[in-house]
């Protein structure tokens, strides 16, 4: 259902998109769109509308910079929007992934692929992970690349897979076939409050992120929040050696023994705009003891990196994502909020998708990923190990296989247009 405001917004944006000169539309690079289901507020809906219709950018409207040549959608639930969107945007809705990539020519005929494998009715495994078919979608894409003896850039939304070996295989496929592979969360490229980035080569010793949501879903956003900052530390990323996930009092007992983790948790919480008004807040200061009382039922992931660096993700009853990191030489804490509002926050709810869509466009236009896919390989592995630890009642999961080494350049992704 459309109210007056959303109707005017939709029709105005559609008019802007359709007003592109035919010649300009012909010169836009073509992509295939592969998604699980298109319904209101599903990830495929958010990406599809922005790639096809445009999005708000720098106080104006950015018309589409790519052309969706075809789309494959895996499921059509009650409230399906895929068919109506295909008709509205003039996008062929095809029956197979291969057809979306080849456009009926029998060989690869697009310049890029967007895989949005989030939401939909899919089974869970024995430890509660939702088995979205991201790996299966990706392998069908790779099969077309191999048959065509040509490859193009690929974007994969969120985790790579729920199995470490499959995550590794996806990255190895991209290296073997030589295509730019971009993956992960919207958190690393969303707005930051304040608008900061960590200096490249900073002597960082520990990162803490605080977020909200469920296991094997929003926790991934929190891990990407921390990792996009931690990877800028001196020496770059070297991989992780172990992960432990704890709930409730066991989590707080562990944190009580680490002064730096307590300091970073408080610093991250002070960046929140949505703390619960409980136990004296906001008139009382935010302290570790206050957090322990108010968020007694939360859970956390404690991640030990191979170089002694530590990452802790707290999943608490908050409504935003925040970060704090510790400079070992100055003892200074650097902190910020990364914009990911809860559903229902009026028109701002999905603004955080806009920067990620822009980077998808640039991936295809420049044939270059904005950052190493190894970041998302590692955060996918962190998520897998953390879910295993929760299922094992807080068992420490050793991860010798996750020796993922990579570094990022001095240039800040956050500041890049």
Q: Is residue 366 part of a domain?
A: no
pLDDT at position 10 is 45
| 247 and 325 housed in the same domain | yes
Beta carbons within 8 Å of 271's beta carbon, 6+ residues apart: 193, 322, 323, 324, 335, 336, 337
User: Which residue bears the tokens 């983790």?
Assistant: 261
- Closest among 86, 31, 113, 65 to 354, alpha carbons compared: 65
Q: Is residue 404 part of a domain?
A: no
- Closest among 50, 47, 52 to 69, alpha carbons compared: 52
d(CA 20, CA 329): 53
Q: Is residue 403 part of a domain?
A: no
CATH assignment of the domain containing 15: 3.40.50.720
Q: Is residue 408 part of a domain?
A: no
Q: What is the domain extent for residue 137?
A: 4-184
Considering 184, 214, 237, which residue would you say is the last residue of a domain? 184
Question: 299-305 and 310-315 as β-strands: parallel, antiparallel, unpaired?
Answer: antiparallel
| 118 and 225 housed in the same domain | no
DSSP 320-363: SEEEEEEETTT--EEEEEE--PPTTSGGGTTTTHHHHHHHHHHH
Contact of 221 with 320, CB cutoff 8 Å = no
| 196 and 155 housed in the same domain | no
pLDDT at position 278 is 77
- Closest among 55, 40, 53 to 356, alpha carbons compared: 55
Q: In whole angstroms, how far apart are CA 257 and each of 77, 209, 243, 299, 330? A: 48, 18, 17, 16, 22
CATH assignment of the domain containing 298: 3.30.360
pLDDT at position 225 is 97
Q: Is residue 364 part of a domain?
A: no
Q: Is residue 110 part of a domain?
A: yes
Considering 153, 184, 215, which residue would you say is the last residue of a domain? 184
Considering 125, 150, 184, which residue would you say is the last residue of a domain? 184
| 202 and 276 housed in the same domain | yes
Q: What is the tally of structural domains in the chain?
A: 2
pLDDT at position 351 is 79
Contact of 110 with 32, CB cutoff 8 Å = yes
Q: Is 174 helix (H, G, I), strand (E, B) or coil?
A: helix
| 135 and 214 housed in the same domain | no
| 272 and 142 housed in the same domain | no
d(CA 69, CA 321): 35
d(CA 223, CA 349): 21
Q: Element (H or E) spanning 57, and its range?
A: strand 55-57
Beta carbons within 8 Å of 95's beta carbon, 6+ residues apart: 72
Q: Is the pTM of this model over 0.85?
A: yes
| 239 and 129 housed in the same domain | no
Identify the DSSP state of 163. Answer: S
pLDDT at position 24 is 58
pLDDT tens string for the chain (417 positions)? 344 444 334 444 444 444 454 555 568 999 999 999 999 999 999 999 999 999 999 889 999 999 999 999 999 999 999 999 999 999 999 999 999 999 999 999 999 999 999 999 999 999 999 999 999 999 999 999 999 999 999 999 999 999 999 999 999 999 999 999 999 999 999 999 999 999 999 999 999 999 999 999 999 999 999 999 999 999 999 999 999 999 999 999 999 999 999 999 999 999 998 898 877 777 778 999 999 999 999 999 999 999 999 999 999 999 999 999 999 999 999 999 998 866 555 445 557 899 999 999 999 999 999 999 999 999 999 999 999 999 999 999 999 999 999 999 888 766 566
| 93 and 210 housed in the same domain | no
| 175 and 224 housed in the same domain | no
Q: Is residue 368 part of a domain?
A: no
| 145 and 212 housed in the same domain | no
Q: Is residue 327 part of a domain?
A: yes
| 130 and 226 housed in the same domain | no
pLDDT at position 11 is 44
Contact of 114 with 360, CB cutoff 8 Å = yes
| 341 and 301 housed in the same domain | yes
């Amino acid at each position: 259902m459309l109210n007056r405001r959303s109707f005017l917004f939709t029709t105005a944006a559609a008019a802007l998109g359709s007003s592109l000169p035919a010649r300009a539309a012909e010169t836009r690079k073509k992509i295939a769109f592969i998604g699980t289901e298109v319904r209101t507020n599903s990830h495929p809906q958010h990406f599809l509308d922005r790639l096809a219709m445009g999005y708000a950018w720098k106080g104006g409207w950015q018309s589409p910079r790519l052309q969706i040549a075809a789309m494959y959608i895996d499921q059509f639930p009650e409230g399906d929007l895929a068919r109506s969107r295909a008709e509205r945007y003039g996008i062929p809705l095809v029956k197979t992934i291969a057809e979306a990539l080849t456009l009926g020519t029998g060989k690869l005929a697009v310049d890029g692929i967007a895989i949005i494998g989030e939401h939909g009715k899919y089974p869970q495994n024995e430890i509660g992970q939702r088995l979205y078919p991201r790996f299966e979608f990706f392998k069908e894409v790779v099969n077309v690349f191999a048959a065509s003896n040509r490859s193009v850039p690929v974007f994969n939304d969120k985790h790579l897979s729920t199995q470490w070996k499959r995550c590794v295989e996806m990255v190895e496929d991209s290296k073997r076939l030589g295509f730019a592979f971009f993956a992960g969360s919207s958190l690393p490229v969303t707005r930051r409050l304040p608008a900061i980035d960590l200096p490249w080569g900073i002597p960082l010793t520990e990162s803490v992120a605080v977020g909200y949501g469920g296991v094997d879903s929003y926790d991934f956003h929190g891990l990407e929040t921390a990792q996009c900052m931690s990877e800028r530390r001196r020496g770059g990323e070297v991989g992780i050696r172990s992960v432990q996930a704890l709930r409730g009092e066991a989590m707080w007992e562990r944190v009580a023994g680490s002064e730096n983790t307590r300091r970073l948790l408080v610093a991250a919480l002070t960046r929140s705009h949505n703390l619960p008004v409980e136990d004296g807040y906001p008139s009382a200061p935010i302290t570790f003891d206050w957090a322990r009382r108010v968020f007694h039922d939360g859970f956390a992931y404690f991640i030990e990196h191979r170089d002694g660096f530590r990452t802790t993700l707290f999943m608490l009853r908050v409504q935003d994502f925040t970060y704090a990191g510790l400079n070992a030489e100055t003892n200074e804490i650097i902190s910020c909020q990364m914009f990911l509002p809860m559903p229902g926050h009026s028109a701002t709810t999905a603004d955080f998708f806009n920067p990620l869509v822009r980077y998808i466009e640039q991936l295809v236009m420049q044939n270059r990923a904005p950052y190493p896919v190894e970041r998302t390989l590692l955060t996918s592995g962190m998520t897998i190990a953390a879910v295993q630890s929760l299922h094992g009642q807080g068992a420490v999961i050793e991860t010798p296989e996750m020796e993922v080494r990579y570094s990022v350049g001095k240039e800040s992704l956050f500041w890049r247009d």
